[in-house]
Structure 1
Amino acid sequence: MRFSVLGAGSWGTVFAKLLVENGHEVLLWARREELAEDINKNHENTEYLPGLKLPQSLIATSRISEVEGFSENFVIAVPVKYIEGVLEKFSKKPKTVVNLSKGIDSKQRSVSSIVCSRWQDIEYSVLSGPCHALEVAVRLPTSVVIACENQQLARELQVAFSNEYFRVYTCEDVLGVEISGAVKNVIAIAAGVIDGLGRWHNAKAALITRGLHEIGRFGLALGCKSPLTFMGLAGMGDLIVTCTSTHSRNRHVGEMVAKGVKLVDVLKDMKMVAEGVHTVKPLLEIAESLKIDMPICRQVYEVLFAGKDPQQAITELMTRPLKMEIEFK
């Protein structure tokens, strides 16, 4: 198969590498010409993945016309806040889109909504799960899920993407997988706050558990197909790795803010985007409009943008009115 991968950050580059290693033809689109030239000349993405050698057959370009002419199968690996602007550059629409990005944009839209508002009548799928780019890059065992309403296409992509170190499962719950990936980034910021305050193991375990509850409550209110989606790789799996891994950008943001570093300075020192920072505001706007209780996400917003003391945020979460853990109806 042929794939055009949009976005030459760490995950876009590593996924393009995986596709080439699986025997596919790939053209990697980079926003900046100098980054594309670096990949083509040195077979390395020295900005995002220094030291990682890329296949010589992996070609990069910064020209939209070349991407349009190369393939009808697009893979989106662009930060969510930039996706709409990138898609507007294209005059021709693809046949299929596989989304790797995780978040909700400032207009309160999931990636599927952004893509399908631009390109109608395409086959859309989303690939998600616990998949830090650096581990996939060095072929460490990784399992993910691809969600698509067209299950025949999902199975074709499952085969196209899978190999001995990258295992892909299929799913029909597109929105559930997208919501899981978006909200877990916000919960991971809260996990980083716990790390910054003292790396409390009891609190981290409770946060992950109650964070999953918020993800599920939010997703089901939006019409996701099954609560089991949140128990799977896109939900619990991705939540665990993003809340605990040193590779996690969102966890890092929370840790640095809890240690007293201003958010603007944390973000200034990061090459890659921490999606949870941009997702939390539109996420809460949706939650408020639907009267969905999201206490962890609310505290994350107040710590990041309202100057709340992180310890006070923890105290307020711990002293909320007492309730049942699970209400059986």
Structure 2
Amino acid sequence: MDESVQKIGIVGSGSWATAMIKMLGDNTEQKDILWWVRKEEDLAYIRSYGHNPSYLSAVKVCVKPDNLFSDARTVIQQSDIVILNTPSAYLKDALAAVQAADFSNKIVVSAIKGIIPNDNLIVGDYLTQTYQIPLENIVVIGGPCHAEEVSSEKLSYLTLAGKDQTTVERVGRFIRGRYINTVLSTDIFGVEYGAVLKNIYALAAGICHGAGLGDNFIAVLISNAIREMGTCLSAIDSDVSRDIKTSAYLGDLLVTAYSQFSRNRTFGHMIGKGYTVQSAQLEMNMVAEGYYASACIQNIIQRHQLDMPICQMVYEILYHRQPATLEIKKLLDKLT
């Protein structure tokens, strides 16, 4: 891959993708950005006014009109670095027309914090299996961060994880800027699975808050959740020495569990208040990744015979329609 070429393609047009477009545009080293926008009407609006009408509509995005596309395959073919930034449930549809050859000799970055439903695969594994992308060409972006704060230029730290540190550093040069710091990591599986798990724990926090429990209890819940996450990550990949207290794991968990911007906490809060899953999904305008992740993580729990009572509680409430108050009561004696 030619280091002098600096074409970056973004596949996705939600709030995080929009914030990332602004973030990359603010970096003076990188101005040649290609953007796939799913809705034709949004695409036309962005071309005319430089704002995404559906997400973060106040944010000015600087993308050349000729670099806006409704075809994801074109964006991928013309880019040197491809950043995938759709909800995990929609990634397969977004890439439906894309061939393995389109990803040849490109760096592929996953900014998706979820598991591909039905396949039960994190995005990195899905890319290697479906498109034969070498793991050395894949970089994962972890938090802690929310799109709303990044777009408001609040100082944020992003963790970039990958097997090849030269590739990770190359991506880091385009990501870091005036309000973005980067932390580099080799724990690609831990960072990606940690991002999946923290969404489930944020759902748990929201459920408990919606059910009337306060900050004192939720602090206990989250302190248990980070230990539960550590147990799960060790079972998935024990070859990497990771500090579960660092920002990619504990930091991302905290911001997702407590922030006003957390869609997973909001979704959980609605469930704790008595909403059905369907009614909560209809009311929200964004995808709560933790809902899909909860079912997928059950396979890992069963495969490794793990004791993960918080994840189990969320799963029982969401998929077996168990009352939140009943499942919370079962959890109480398992927390320390």
Do they fold alike, i.e. is TM over 0.5?
yes
Q: CA deviation at 1:148?
A: 0.8
Q: CA deviation at 1:199?
A: 4.8
Give the 4+ runs in structure 1 shifted more than 4 A. none
> Do the aligned residues in 1 keep the contact of 2:161 with 2:186 (CA within 8 Å)?
yes
Q: Which moved more, 1:184-193 or 1:54-63?
A: 54-63
Equivalent residue in structure 1 for 2:82, among 68, 74, 77: 74
Equivalent residue in structure 2 for 1:13, among 18, 24, 47: 18
SS of 2:316's partner is helix
SS of 2:103's partner is coil
- Paired positions, count: 322
**Which position in structure 2 is the counterpart of 1:109?**
121
SS of 2:300's partner is helix
The answer as to 2:7 corresponding to 1:2 is: yes
SS of 1:27's partner is strand
Q: CA deviation at 1:86?
A: 2.5
Equivalents in 2 of 1:56, 1:3: separation in Å?
A: 11
> Do the aligned residues in 2 keep the contact of 1:216 with 1:227 (CA within 8 Å)?
no
**Which position in structure 2 is the counterpart of 1:93?**
103
SS of 2:13's partner is coil
Compared CA separation, residues 225 and 141, structure 1 to 2 (3 A) = farther
Q: CA deviation at 1:147?
A: 0.2
Equivalents in 2 of 1:27, 1:261: separation in Å?
A: 39
Equivalents in 1 of 2:109, 2:151: separation in Å?
A: 19
> Do the aligned residues in 2 keep the contact of 1:180 with 1:230 (CA within 8 Å)?
no
Compared CA separation, residues 205 and 226, structure 1 to 2 (3 A) = farther
RMSD of aligned alpha carbons: 1.7
SS of 1:49's partner is coil
Equivalents in 2 of 1:135, 1:316: separation in Å?
A: 36
Q: Output aligned runs, 1:155-234, within 5 Å.
A: 155-226=169-240, 228-234=242-248
Identity between Structure 1 and Structure 2 (%): 30
**Which position in structure 2 is the counterpart of 1:266?**
280
**Which position in structure 2 is the counterpart of 1:275?**
289
Q: CA deviation at 1:238?
A: 0.6
TM-score, scaled relative to structure 1 = 0.93
Equivalents in 2 of 1:6, 1:224: separation in Å?
A: 32
Q: Which moved more, 1:180-189 or 1:278-287?
A: 278-287
Compared CA separation, residues 103 and 229, structure 1 to 2 (3 A) = farther
Equivalents in 1 of 2:63, 2:183: separation in Å?
A: 29
Q: Output aligned runs, 1:227-266, within 5 Å.
A: 228-266=242-280
CA deviations 1:250-289 (Å, max 9, x no partner) are 1011111111111111111112110000110110122112
> Do the aligned residues in 2 keep the contact of 1:196 with 1:256 (CA within 8 Å)?
yes
Equivalent residue in structure 1 for 2:49, among 36, 42, 47: 42
Give the AA of the match of 1:77: N
TM-score, scaled relative to structure 2 = 0.91
CA deviations 1:2-21 (Å, max 9, x no partner) are 11100011101110111111
Compared CA separation, residues 103 and 270, structure 1 to 2 (3 A) = same
Gaps of 5+ in 1: none
Compared CA separation, residues 65 and 227, structure 1 to 2 (3 A) = closer
Equivalents in 2 of 1:57, 1:309: separation in Å?
A: 51
Compared CA separation, residues 193 and 64, structure 1 to 2 (3 A) = closer
**Which position in structure 2 is the counterpart of 1:124?**
138
> Do the aligned residues in 1 keep the contact of 2:143 with 2:247 (CA within 8 Å)?
yes
Q: Which moved more, 1:42-51 or 1:5-14?
A: 42-51
**Which position in structure 2 is the counterpart of 1:61?**
69
Equivalents in 1 of 2:133, 2:322: separation in Å?
A: 45
> Do the aligned residues in 1 keep the contact of 2:21 with 2:61 (CA within 8 Å)?
no
**Which position in structure 1 is the counterpart of 2:3?**
none
Equivalents in 2 of 1:307, 1:119: separation in Å?
A: 37
Give the AA of the match of 1:93: F
Gaps of 5+ in 2: 1-5
CA deviations 1:216-271 (Å, max 9, x no partner) are 11111111544534322221011000000111011011111111111111111112
**Which position in structure 1 is the counterpart of 2:58?**
51
Give the AA of the match of 2:82: F
Compared CA separation, residues 302 and 198, structure 1 to 2 (3 A) = same
Equivalents in 2 of 1:121, 1:269: separation in Å?
A: 37
> Do the aligned residues in 1 keep the contact of 2:73 with 2:95 (CA within 8 Å)?
no
Give the AA of the match of 1:21: D
